[in-house]
C-alpha cells in the first residue's frame, strides 16, 4: 500500500501543484489529506477541483478551517474521487484507517473520548493508521511557543491502541517532523506531503 499524505496547504496553489505532481510521479494508490486545504472554507472547491487531476481517491478529514462546514454530501457528489472520513473507519487492504478532523488547539475532547472507546473495542489488535488534524500531546510535533499544544485524548488513544502510524498536522512550524509514542510512528507531513509505503 503506497499513498501520499499532506495537509495545511491553505489555498496555496503552488503547494497544491507540487502535491499533484508528486502524486502523479510516485505511482501511489491514494491520497490522505488531514485538512486545512482552505482558508475557513474559502478556496475549498477550487482546491478539490485541482486535485481531480490526480485521478486517485482522496480520503479527507476536515481541519479547523473546514470544521464548521454543515454538509460534505454535495462536494462528495460533485467530486467523485473525494471522500470525507471524519469520525469514520476506512478499511484498505488489511489496514484500518481511523479519521478524526477539526480541533485546532483543543487539548481535551469528550466527543473523541467516546468514539475512541468504541474504536478500541472494535479495532484493538488490528493494523491501524490514525489520522487527525491536530497532533497528540507531548511530542516533537506539537511543540509551539515553548510548550506542547497537542491533544491529550489523542495521545491516550495512541498509547492504548498503538497504531502502526499516526498522521497529523495543524502546527505549520513542525511540518516534516516525526516522533514516536511507544511503538507508533508519528508524522506531520505538512503542505509538502510525504509518500508512505506500508506492507
Supply the pLDDT for residue 41.
84
Cell of 128: 491501524
Supply the pLDDT for residue 71.
76
Cell of 111: 466527543
Supply the pLDDT for residue 39.
84
Q: What is the 3-state secondary structure (H, E, C) of 52-79?
A: HHHCCEEEECCCCCCCCCCCCHHHHHHC
For the chain, what are the domain ranges? Answer: 2-197
Supply the pLDDT for residue 67.
81
Q: What are the 10-residue block averages of pLDDT along the chain, 199 residues in total?
A: 96 94 95 92 90 95 86 88 96 98 88 97 98 97 92 98 97 95 97 96
Angle 168-128-60 (CA atoms, 0-180°, nearest 5)? 45
**3-state SS class at 129:** strand
Cell of 125: 489488535
Residue with cell 502523479: 24
Supply the pLDDT for residue 111.
95
CATH number, span 2-197? 3.60.21.10
**3-state SS class at 116:** helix
Supply the pLDDT for residue 69.
80
Supply the pLDDT for residue 106.
85
Amino acid at each position: 500500500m503506497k499513498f501520499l499524505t499532506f495537509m495545511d496547504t491553505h489555498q496555496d496553489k503552488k503547494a497544491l501543484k507540487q502535491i499533484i505532481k508528486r502524486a502523479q510521479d510516485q505511482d501511489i494508490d491514494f491520497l490522505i489529506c488531514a485538512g486545512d486545504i482552505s482558508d475557513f472554507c474559502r478556496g475549498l472547491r477550487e482546491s478539490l477541483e485541482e486535485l481531480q487531476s490526480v485521478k486517485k481517491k482522496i480520503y479527507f478529514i476536515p481541519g479547523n478551517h473546514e470544521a464548521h462546514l454543515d454538509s460534505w454530501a454535495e462536494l462528495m457528489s460533485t467530486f467523485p474521487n473525494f471522500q470525507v472520513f471524519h469520525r469514520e473507519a476506512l478499511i484498505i487492504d488489511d489496514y484500518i484507517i481511523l479519521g478524526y478532523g477539526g480541533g485546532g488547539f483543543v487539548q481535551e475532547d469528550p466527543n473523541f473520548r467516546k468514539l475512541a472507546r468504541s474504536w478500541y473495542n472494535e479495532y484493538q489488535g488490528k493494523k491501524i493508521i490514525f489520522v487527525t488534524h491536530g497532533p497528540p500531546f507531548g511530542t516533537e510535533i506539537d511543540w509551539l511557543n515553548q510548550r506542547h499544544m497537542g491533544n491529550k485524548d489523542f495521545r491516550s488513544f495512541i498509547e492504548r491502541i498503538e497504531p502502526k502510524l499516526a498522521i497529523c498536522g495543524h502546527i505549520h512550524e513542525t511540518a516534516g517532523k516525526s516522533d514516536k509514542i511507544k511503538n507508533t510512528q508519528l508524522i506531520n507531513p505538512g503542505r509538502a506531503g510525504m509518500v508512505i509505503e506500508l506492507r
